[in-house]
Structure 1
Amino acid sequence: DPCEEAAAGEGRPAALGRREGRLPHPRLARHRVRARHALARRGPLRPHDPRARLRGGRRGPRPRPRPPRDAAGRRAVRGAGPAAPPVSRRRLRAARPGRAGGPGRTLRTGRAGPERRRILAAVAVVAALVAVALGALGALEDAERSALDARFELRGTDPGRIGPVPLAVVGIDDATLRRLDERFPFSRVHHARVLDRLRAARVRAVAYDVEFSEQTTPAADDALIEAIDAVPRIVLAGFATDDRGRTAILGGEEVQRAVGARVGHVGVLIDGDGVLRRFPDRTARLTSFPVAVAEHATGRRVDRTPFASDGDALVDWVGGERAVPTYSFADVLDGRVPASRLRGRIVVVGATAPSLKDVRSTPMDGGSPLSGPEIQADAIATVLRGVPLRESPWPVGLLLTVLAAAVPGIAGLRGRAFGVLLAATAGAAAVLVVAWAAFSLDRVVPVAEPLLALGLGTLGAVAAGSAFEAVERRRTREIFARFVSHDVVDDVLARTDDEVRLGGVRVDATILFCDLRGSTALLEELEPERGIVVLNRFLGAMGDRVDAHGGTLVGYRGDGLMAVFGAPLDQPDHADRAVACARDMAGPALRRCHELLRADGVDRELRIGVGVASGPVMAGNVGSERRMEYTAIGDAANVAARLEGLTKHHGRPVLVATGTVQRLADPAGLDPLGPVAVRGRAGTVEVWAAG
């Protein structure tokens, strides 16, 4: 064999015979891996030579590409797109318009392209920065305070927050003023008698929220000092201090130490809206009243770590008015309060009558301000519980703000304005839920900043979405107007609102192929400039007929064109439109084209061929994201293209498949040509000719 001799002369292994079918790679066969390729060239079959790669030898010629074929083994028609693959019932149902997961792609006017993602990200960043900046400048303080008050009101009264040491309030109320019939501040003898009652009841400690900074009568002052000296643990209220934090209560620090009394500053912190929400750990170099009472009652120093850097802490309110057990000063004075109700408690004594003006607005007042003793009792309970209610660290608030600002942008990537608004509503609800959950865990997270960022992000996302929607609709109009008339484009956009489904839709449509006969010989005789004139006149005249009959001009194929009727706009009479368009092309449109060519100085008679076929096709966009083209793929497109090519053999300018004839409202004027063999099909096609 010459092949074997040549192989032996080159030092290659001798041929084993002629190869048949597939030859697996030896290494793959050794590992029992199925062959994934076939040898494409017929010739002597040789064993694998592992030295060929080292010598730089070729491993064999590349397989020649096979032309695309449809499911029936027919070659696809060039220009008509690839043949439609066999589609299962499930995939056909999934391909319906608006159905997610279909084989085609839905072109949404608001799809998330790179530019859209960048702009929405910028909107989120700007929204977060604006919210954080306004929060840092204090512009959102009132909103944050109102949000905190709403959480306290929603929680309501919680007696379990009184703390490990129970408390009680003895109030100098209106009943006391009527009972004593004295102008406040009344005689210190009454205070001394109340202190004796509290000592006898064996209270845990006494917090006396009445300032004794001035002298009265010697007898009354001595009685008060003796009563204070008899109480084991007592804290007196002080306000005015010197530069060293000393007060004049009971005449000065010497008397205070002598009787074992401690003084705490009763100054309070009022926010800009007039509401008391915080208390300090020290004021004017003097320990605050709640901290002093807690330390004196427990005998332990209060940890200042929970207090903020400026020494303030949030009052963890027990509740509203009378949330802490409250008794009248007069009733205690007269012995009408059982000692068992006071035993073991920290008792706060002070003025509760509104006429004495020791009241403050708080988040828990419910329209009725709380008295000073009740406020001090809540603050003492807060200190006793270790100041549990604290503001979250600033990174937590920043993270919540950034996430809230990103919600509308994320929704805007895929959704419309309604979806953005729905996501914003869900985001606002999530912020409130997070704030309430954190509050239940004794943490206060900001609410105003995230909600503001969410609102700004929503406005920006909606505005950006509207702008992109307008741009995409204009882009869709420009792309789509190349295929159909402007009236059809307006109708499609009006019916589909802001979502134009162009991809992967299975429809029943009619395909039309039109071609200029003898164009090759004609263009050879003409100058290139004249040839372009002829083609432009011809294609322009034929394309105008497609628009006039409501068809979609898919595109130009050399010296011909392809059009589809019934897609993307549903047209029940698509077959009638296509046949009428074909007759118009072969008659009036062609004559008009001749007149225009003669006016251009080209006296040539043109001949055309038109093929028309109907059936189910997949209509939609093909191509890439940057460049798309609308087309229709299916057996009807293949048949229409073949019929257009058969017009020159039958001598008729228009050939119509039987599927189109069956869909016509009036098939008059069509001549049956009988079954015709169509290249690429196993059977024949009934063909009709139009005049």
Structure 2
Amino acid sequence: MTRAQQIGVILGLAIVAVLSVLRASDPPLLSIVRDLTFDQYQRLAPRAFEKLPVLVIDIDEASLREFGQWPWPRNRIAELVDRLSEMGASAIAFDVLFAEPDRLSPRNAVRDVTGIDPLVLDQLPDNDEILARSISQKPVVLGFGLSNQGQYLPPVKAGFAFTGESPLGAPPSIKAATPLLPQLEANAAGIGHISLNPGASSAVVRAVPLFLSDGKQFYPSLALEALRVAQGASTYVLAGAPDALNTMTFTKIGDFVVPVTASGELWLYVSRDTPERYISASKVLAAGGASAEVRAAIEGSIVFVGTSAAGLQDVRTTALGENVPGVSVHAQIVEQILSGHFLSRPDWANGVEILSIVVLGSFLVILTTFVTPAVALACGLLITLFALAASWAAFLYAGLLFDPLAPIVAGSITHFAATAFRFLVTDRERRDVRRAFGHYLSPSLLYRIEHTRNALRLGGDDRELTVMFVDVRNFTEISEQITPTEVVTFLNTLLDALSHHVIANEGTLDKFIGDSIMAFWNAPVDVADHAGKAVHSALAMRETLARLNANDAFHFGSERKVGIGIGIHTGLACVGNMGAETRFNYSAVGDAVNIAARIESSCKEVGFDILISESTAKLLPDHALLDAGTLSLKGKKTRTKLFAVVGDQKVARSAEFVAMHLLHQRLVDALKTRSATGRKLVRSAKLMAAGLTAGLPEFYRRISRRSDHFRDEEAVESRISAE
């Protein structure tokens, strides 16, 4: 790992830590986004509406048209209670506040009229007393609201039993309530609060408190009281956490167990609003009595009395985005409990989400540092899809609410931050490598050198290289006959075509020296079969030059052909960045380089375009090679054995080359011994060579003049000494 990568990992992990702390603090924006995500889940898969014994007796527009504006006189409410009770309702819950005396009551209507005898006044009907007598001994549950004034708290009609630690401090706090009329309060079978989302910043009702607490007493919700009264239960069982105060886990009402949040709230899993949930109050109060259909629906049902009439402003927004009467939400709470379809966001969900940010963020930091950006992005997208799929599956199959966006957003921030750092800092060295080597190395070698530490350090290493020199024949004569601009065009066309084969065969272009090319293999990184790739590059150059000549690519006319000489040698050389700290070139120096250059010059004497040294030939036993003799290279004390490259492995296996090779060996033996058969063998070789490669006949035309090149070096040296 480079220092830049180490810094990148440290900074990336620091970002992960900051994001984890930010998620742990749960700022409002994250909470809003999380709630919207859970809303979307419900919209995609809402709770299916089931025909359960829960109804809303709706004081709707039709009821107001028939019986007058709201509020109705309490004697009509009493009649509604009597009708519902007679039809067999198991509980009658009012999402209506009875906080003040009925102003439409006859007694109250004339109370302020002067001259009324108090005895007569007392004999006038009181609608509140009528309603109190009506609800007495009936399963009626009255509602109360929260108040910021006074000290009134309603009586609690049920008992409470606890398991675990006390959860008294868990529910939302209640300081005061809207007062109920004493006679109604005394005769009600149950009293529950009607607050759906007290203190919530959002108008959407997502979780409702099933209990309120003043620190001494629990106050159940209207829906829970209706369910309790319908079952004839007298006690709530509240479960606190076994090892934590002021924490709730579930509540039991009669036969039903309801999971709750730590503060005693129920996550609403709503169904779509449907007319099947409602019965108009006008149908219950119909003059001729309710229809058999209405009676059948009400019998045994928990009914909630409330209003959907416009202008009464009892409208709430659900997670499905629907605006529904508040009384409908109370009914849906009981529906949800009866159906057993619950949503739950476990207390440990926050911990899991924070841990996922740490784990996935750290993974992305390491991934982005050590793999390509494309691979890191693909992995990031897979992680995103996995988080979404896991969260959705948890909701769909287990009713669990896990936030997928927190780890996704944190992971995205981490990924792009790490990617930006890598681009600006970590990959800078690699971009420098590309600028330095982009025109001289193949893409595969570039990738390998990019991932090699200290690739551009000043200095060199001793390595076995295969070095190639390419030179244009008769360049001086060519340049004398054309303009300088045409010389540049000619060189660009030729050198571009030839150098392409160096790159294609994983070689390194060292430099262009006028009309020459210097290249080498096995640096800056190891290249397998470097000698073979150098020779294949040379053979490809031979074919390319023949095509360029045939197509008159240099515009010299069909009579003038361009020729090249190629010398190749394998040996030890020093390769690396050479020059100054601020400006240097990647190059190779040493005896191996000099020998390759001298071999290229020997092509003129030998009369063949591709010559290689014996050290290179030993690495290519399966290629089509012919012994070119042992030559004295300029500046070398000892002679060097060379080989002419006729072709690759395919040519070496051909019948023509096999025959040529046998004939060549006989010719070499004749030249060594100065046999009289040498001339005859040369003629035969020239005829046979014409079918193999274009330059080979010239090789044999010159071979008899180079007979000394095929004699043993010791014998030649002895002859020279004797002379």
State the number of aligned residues. Answer: 478
Q: Does 1:226 align with 2:133?
A: yes
Indicate conservation of the 8 Å contact 1:173/1:352, yes or no: yes
Q: Closer, same or farther in 2 for the Cα pair 1:632/1:248, shift >3 Å?
A: farther
Indicate conservation of the 8 Å contact 1:407/1:454, yes or no: no
Gaps of 5+ in 2: 106-124, 155-176, 239-247, 251-259, 453-464, 470-508, 524-528, 546-562, 570-593, 604-608, 652-691, 713-723
Q: Does 1:278 align with 2:207?
A: yes
Q: Which amino acid aligns with 1:214?
A: E
Matches within 5 A, 1:364-513: 364-366=320-322, 369-382=323-336, 388-392=342-346, 393=348, 394-406=350-362, 408-409=364-365, 411-412=367-368, 415-440=371-396, 441-467=398-424, 468-475=426-433, 481=437, 487-489=439-441, 492-493=442-443, 512=467
Question: Helix, strand or coil: the match of 1:488?
Answer: coil
Question: Helix, strand or coil: the match of 2:193?
Answer: strand
Q: Which amino acid aligns with 2:567?
A: A
Q: Is 340-349 or 292-301 further displaced after alignment?
A: 292-301
CA distance in 2, matches of 1:396, 1:343: 47
Indicate conservation of the 8 Å contact 2:611/2:645, yes or no: no
CA distance in 1, matches of 2:627, 2:5: 46
Q: In structure 1, what is the equivalent of residue 581 of structure 2?
A: none
CA distance in 1, matches of 2:337, 2:711: 95
- Residue 293 (structure 1) aligned to one of 199, 208, 226: 226
Q: Closer, same or farther in 2 for the Cα pair 1:302/1:351, shift >3 Å?
A: farther
Q: In structure 1, what is the equivalent of residue 266 of structure 2?
A: 313
Deviation at 1:655, TM superposition (A): 3.2
Q: Which amino acid aligns with 1:291?
A: L
Indicate conservation of the 8 Å contact 1:166/1:345, yes or no: yes
Q: Does 1:580 align with 2:527?
A: no
Q: Closer, same or farther in 2 for the Cα pair 1:363/1:293, shift >3 Å?
A: same
Q: Which amino acid aligns with 2:81?
A: L
Q: Which amino acid aligns with 2:65?
A: R
Q: Which amino acid aligns with 2:375?
A: G
Indicate conservation of the 8 Å contact 1:428/1:451, yes or no: yes
CA distance in 2, matches of 1:471, 1:664: 46
Q: In structure 2, what is the equivalent of residue 329 of structure 1?
A: 281
Q: In structure 2, what is the equivalent of residue 251 of structure 1?
A: 181
Matches within 5 A, 1:98-113: none
Deviation at 1:464, TM superposition (A): 4.2
Q: Does 1:647 align with 2:608?
A: no
Q: Closer, same or farther in 2 for the Cα pair 1:168/1:129, shift >3 Å?
A: same
Q: What TM-score, normalized to structure 1?
A: 0.58
Q: In structure 2, what is the equivalent of residue 658 of structure 1?
A: 645
Question: Helix, strand or coil: the match of 1:636?
Answer: coil
Q: What TM-score, normalized to structure 2?
A: 0.56
Q: In structure 2, what is the equivalent of residue 610 of structure 1?
A: 599
Q: Does 1:552 align with 2:519?
A: yes
Q: Closer, same or farther in 2 for the Cα pair 1:465/1:659, shift >3 Å?
A: farther
Deviation at 1:634, TM superposition (A): 7.9
Indicate conservation of the 8 Å contact 1:314/1:389, yes or no: yes
CA distance in 2, matches of 1:667, 1:643: 12
Indicate conservation of the 8 Å contact 1:546/1:552, yes or no: no
CA distance in 2, matches of 1:452, 1:430: 14
Please give the per-residue CA displacement for 1:599-640, whole angstroms capped at 9, x wherever unaligned.
xxxxxxx99853899899xxxxxxxxxxxxxx9998239999
Q: Closer, same or farther in 2 for the Cα pair 1:248/1:458, shift >3 Å?
A: closer
Q: Does 1:193 align with 2:79?
A: yes
Deviation at 1:155, TM superposition (A): 0.8
Q: In structure 2, what is the equivalent of residue 138 of structure 1?
A: 28
Please give the per-residue CA displacement for 1:174-200, whole angstroms capped at 9, x wherever unaligned.
1111121x2211112221122112111
Deviation at 1:144, TM superposition (A): 0.8
Q: In structure 1, what is the equivalent of residue 302 of structure 2?
A: 346
Q: Closer, same or farther in 2 for the Cα pair 1:545/1:229, shift >3 Å?
A: closer
Q: In structure 2, what is the equivalent of residue 56 of structure 1?
A: none
- Residue 635 (structure 1) aligned to one of 616, 619, 639: 619
Indicate conservation of the 8 Å contact 1:131/1:452, yes or no: no
Q: Does 1:126 align with 2:113?
A: no
Q: Does 1:170 align with 2:57?
A: yes
Please give the per-residue CA displacement for 1:341-373, whole angstroms capped at 9, x wherever unaligned.
12222111101123211001221234xx11111
Question: Helix, strand or coil: the match of 2:191?
Answer: strand
Indicate conservation of the 8 Å contact 1:547/1:553, yes or no: no
Q: Closer, same or farther in 2 for the Cα pair 1:263/1:548, shift >3 Å?
A: same
Q: Closer, same or farther in 2 for the Cα pair 1:445/1:645, shift >3 Å?
A: farther
CA distance in 1, matches of 2:535, 2:451: 7
CA distance in 2, matches of 1:354, 1:201: 28
CA distance in 1, matches of 2:84, 2:230: 15
Indicate conservation of the 8 Å contact 2:194/2:222, yes or no: yes
Deviation at 1:374, TM superposition (A): 0.6
RMSD: 4.9
CA distance in 2, matches of 1:345, 1:357: 26
Q: Closer, same or farther in 2 for the Cα pair 1:346/1:567, shift >3 Å?
A: farther
Question: Helix, strand or coil: the match of 2:430?
Answer: helix
Deviation at 1:457, TM superposition (A): 2.4
CA distance in 2, matches of 1:442, 1:678: 93
CA distance in 1, matches of 2:624, 2:564: 12
